[in-house]
Amino acid sequence: MRMIWLICGILLYGCGASQQVGRVEKSPDIPLAKCLALFQEGDWNETLKCLDLIKESARDQSYFDLKGSTLLRQDKPRRASEAFEKALERDTTRQNPYLYVKWGESLWQNHEFLEAGKAMGTYLDLVANPKPEIKNRLAYFIRSATVADSLYRVPRQFYPNPFSAAINTDNHELGISMTYDRRNLIITRRADQEDLYESQWRQGQWQPARPMDIFNTPDNEGAAAISGDGHLLVFTACNRPQGVGSCDLYFSRLSDTGWTSPSLMPDINTRHWDSQPTLSPDGRVIVFSSERPGGYGGRDLWLSVWRENRWIQPINLGPKINSPGNEENPFLHADEYTLYFTSDYWPGFGGRDLFMAHRLHGNQWSKPVNLGYPINSLQNEEGVFIESSGQTGYFSSARNGQFDLYSFEVDRAIQPRPALLYKMIVVDSATLNPLQGFSVQVYDKTQNELVRSSVTDSEGHTAFLISGNRTYGITVSGKDYGIYSYKKILEQKINQDITDTIQMAPVQDERTIILENVHFRSGESQLLESSDVELNELADYLLKNRKLTIMLWGHTDSVGQASDNQILSQERAEAVKSFLVRKGVAPGRIEARGMGESQPLTTNETVEGRQRNRRTEIRIITNE
């Protein structure tokens, strides 16, 4: 139970054992002190038996106070509330205002949130100088009462299913992370201490989780995050001799022989507590929780980006996300737009609740939204992990007395943007042999930003997550094979992964290549910013292959005067050449020529046809 901490050490009836007493004897006149001793011993059943033996005439305010506290300990909030009401009826002079706190607790645990808030507010009205820890905690419940009541009245669709015994055990299973192909799972298991375990999906089920011995020590390791491709793992380790603070972030990379020995995250760790990482699908963005100075509360969420072969200085996610309390357990969804996390400050159900926020732009975030009931309960919630599709989620909860892992279908109201796994296989156009080490650049033409940068593996494969309702420009390049450029348009509703095979021709074939992702202002020769990614890739390719030259042609549709189109196409070809020269390519290696409307690829009678005819082409020529 969440709020019982308010009883222990603060109430009239403490939670520690003061003395050992025998079982209740059948006596007509049992003193209340004996019942109190049983309560302090932690024997709730015997306490209630003792109270039942006290005669009616002796049942005063203290009697009902003790009875309510005992029933609250037994998770019987309705009966506890009735007992506290009777205690308040007998406290006519209001000598014990803390009864309102206990009454409020029982009401809250019975989901009577509005009445609970009023009861706790009465305590603050009666007590001139309450203890700060009590005042702050009651303020949380008071400001949360309306939110909790409204969320409770409109529950989310939520039907959690526990993992099998291959994952859940008699110990505590906590954090969860998964590769985006949903075939590798990493969890934290707490027995004598916390350790990392892994499981693989085989033959339609999760295999028994095995300890990751290369990471585990006699101290605590946990809260791991794995990149979408499964090649980068970041986790938390505490009290290590080489550590910087109490808990630090470590990383490991997957090689052909297994995971590398873990290393401290450079430029991330401080002398303070740093923990609970989450990674973007490509492993180039990390969000984590930290107690470092410069935050807004106890534990804040921070973000860093891998740029120019290093992690940049972490930045705080700001006061929209971070509060005077504690924000922990971040999870950045594959859409890189939706962030889930826990907070013990933002209005909720009484402890650590799950929240969702959206990235607006840069480091600006929307106001957090409580995920609602019954995803959030009167128990403390841990982190959540949601698959790239946005439809299935996973979380850890102590709903049955210990932390276990559950899966659930995500209510539409709190789903992230769906993302799908886009797989690419790059092969030689003649032999169909896989091509390793080819650069792949993915540009989101809708948002005007580079979203993925990768290279193909030994099988010519690369993969990344992309979102629906987007247009992507994709450029593939490799030594001796030139550049391949194409555009990928995705519908808003996507429900399955995509695989494309890209056939690359050697440069000696001197094929004409359309630069699908080079664009100009309408009727002008000024390049749009969305052209930068593809032209930068072309410039980089030419700088690495200095024996190559290119022919560059500009084409228009047939709208307008042919002479004007000829001039415009020449100016556009020259604009592309100027861009490449500014990047360091020698001007003598580029011949730019405008072709006007003379070489259409298709009809100019349709919008689609005219759009296709407006293009920039190159031919790479080897001078060897």
For the stretch 192-204, pLDDT in tens is 899 999 999 999 9
* Residue given tokens 């120019």 in the structure block: 308
- Give residue 29's pLDDT: 60
- Give residue 492's pLDDT: 56
- What is the C-alpha to C-alpha distance for residues 330 and 322, in angstroms, rounded to an integer? 12
- Give residue 545's pLDDT: 83
Q: What CATH number has the domain bearing residue 180?
A: 2.120.10.30
Q: Are residues 106 and 178 in the same domain?
A: no
Q: What CATH number has the domain bearing residue 519?
A: 3.30.1330.60
Q: Are residues 431 and 407 in the same domain?
A: no
In this predicted structure, the answer to whether residue 19 has a pLDDT above a threshold of 80 is: no
Instruction: Choose the final residue of a domain: 351, 384, 414.
Output: 414
- Give residue 540's pLDDT: 87
Q: Are residues 503 and 531 in the same domain?
A: no
Q: Are residues 500 and 515 in the same domain?
A: no
Domain count for the chain: 4
Q: What CATH number has the domain bearing residue 486?
A: 2.60.40.1120
136 located within any domain: yes
604 secondary structure, DSSP code:
S
Q: Are 61 and 102 in contact (CB under 8 A)?
A: no
The pLDDT-based confidence of 323 (bands split at 50, 70, 90) is very high
177 located within any domain: yes
Lowest mean pLDDT among 103-107, 447-451, 478-482: 447-451
Q: Are residues 217 and 251 in the same domain?
A: yes
Q: What is the mean pLDDT of residues 540-549?
A: 86
Share of the chain above pLDDT 90, in %: 62
Q: Are residues 146 and 180 in the same domain?
A: no
- Peptide bond before residue 418 is cis, with ω within 30 degrees of 0: no
In this predicted structure, the answer to whether residue 495 has a pLDDT above a threshold of 80 is: no
- What is the C-alpha to C-alpha distance for residues 338 and 390, in angstroms, rounded to an integer? 10
Share of the chain above pLDDT 70, in %: 93
Instruction: Choose the final residue of a domain: 461, 477, 508.
Output: 508
Q: What CATH number has the domain bearing residue 70?
A: 1.25.40.10
162 located within any domain: no
Q: Are residues 66 and 198 in the same domain?
A: no
pLDDT, tens only, 203-213: 999 999 999 99
387 located within any domain: yes
- Give residue 256's pLDDT: 81
Q: Are residues 439 and 564 in the same domain?
A: no
In this predicted structure, the answer to whether residue 87 has a pLDDT above a threshold of 70 is: yes
Tokens linked to 487: 């555009």
158 located within any domain: no
Q: Are residues 357 and 479 in the same domain?
A: no
Query: Residue 434 is part of which domain span?
Result: 418-508
- What is the C-alpha to C-alpha distance for residues 326 and 318, in angstroms, rounded to an integer? 13
pLDDT, tens only, 69-79: 999 999 999 99
In this predicted structure, the answer to whether residue 348 has a pLDDT above a threshold of 70 is: yes
Q: What is the pairing mode between strands 548-555 and 590-594?
A: parallel
Find all residues with CB under 8 Å of 568, minimum gap 6, and list them: 523, 524, 525, 554, 556, 594, 596
160 located within any domain: no
Average pLDDT of the chain to the nearest whole number = 89
Tokens linked to 53: 């033996």
pLDDT, tens only, 565-621: 899 999 999 999 999 999 999 999 999 999 999 999 999 989 888 888 889 998 888
583 located within any domain: yes
H helix runs in 449-489, sequence order? none
101 located within any domain: yes
In this predicted structure, the answer to whether residue 361 has a pLDDT above a threshold of 90 is: no
pLDDT, tens only, 90-129: 988 888 999 999 999 999 999 999 999 999 999 999 999 9
The pLDDT-based confidence of 491 (bands split at 50, 70, 90) is low
Whole-prediction pTM:
0.79
The pLDDT-based confidence of 493 (bands split at 50, 70, 90) is low
Q: What is the pairing mode between strands 247-255 and 221-226?
A: unpaired
The pLDDT-based confidence of 12 (bands split at 50, 70, 90) is very low
H helix runs in 58-189, sequence order? 61-73, 77-90, 98-109, 113-126, 132-153
Instruction: Choose the final residue of a domain: 476, 508, 540.
Output: 508
Query: Residue 548 is inside which H or E element, if any?
Result: strand 548-555
Q: Are residues 55 and 114 in the same domain?
A: yes
Q: Are residues 220 and 349 in the same domain?
A: yes
Q: Are residues 205 and 299 in the same domain?
A: yes
